[in-house]
Structure 1
Amino acid sequence: MGKLQIDMLGASFAVQAHEDDAYLKKLLNYYTEITNTIKQAGHLKDPVQISIMAGITLVDELYKEKQRNVSYSRALNNSNDAEAERLTIQMIQTIDKALQ
């Protein structure tokens, strides 16, 4: 069980999760990078708006990654289907030759 103290965007609180401390710290560091990038862009100043934009940024990354995984999975399935079809045809041809 990992613990993490969060002090950012005017908020301070502690969390516990079923991950180790180092992993939780990596997550917080990544989130901090995203919020800092948003702050440096200068368009948003309000901490709530910054955190919402950071959340949308993370959801965008996650969604795009899931789409890539779905595309890869479909391509892999199509490849497997093509290989299964090729092997089936090969077996049918072998059986046909044996029966002649």
Structure 2
Amino acid sequence: MTDRKTDTLEDLFAAARADPPAVPDALIARVLADAARVQPRAPLWRRIVDGIGGPVGLGGVVTGALAGMWIGFAPPSDTLDPLAVLVDGGALATVELTETFYDFGWEAEEG
């Protein structure tokens, strides 16, 4: 900068940068409160996803739901099929219960 007017101006800017004015804490708090007030609210779906742990939590919920549906519709062979119980009105569960009930002799009265 060869211009003398510009050099003087640069000296003033350097002096201002060296000693910045102090901003009161109350002013900073008011500015931040105003900024938080005017920010748009997050959409409902984003708040729900954030509430369950973000994308990782959402992945866990989806995986658990799919595993539950799979086990519910195609249960392992050694368990009772809940859909068969619903279709046949619970007769299958009643038959299995009565067979095991009488095997132990629980129907006999004492003395």
TM-score normalized with structure 1 length: 0.29
Q: Which has the higher helix share?
A: 1
* Higher RCO (CA < 8 A, seq sep 6+): 1
Q: Which has the higher strand share?
A: 1
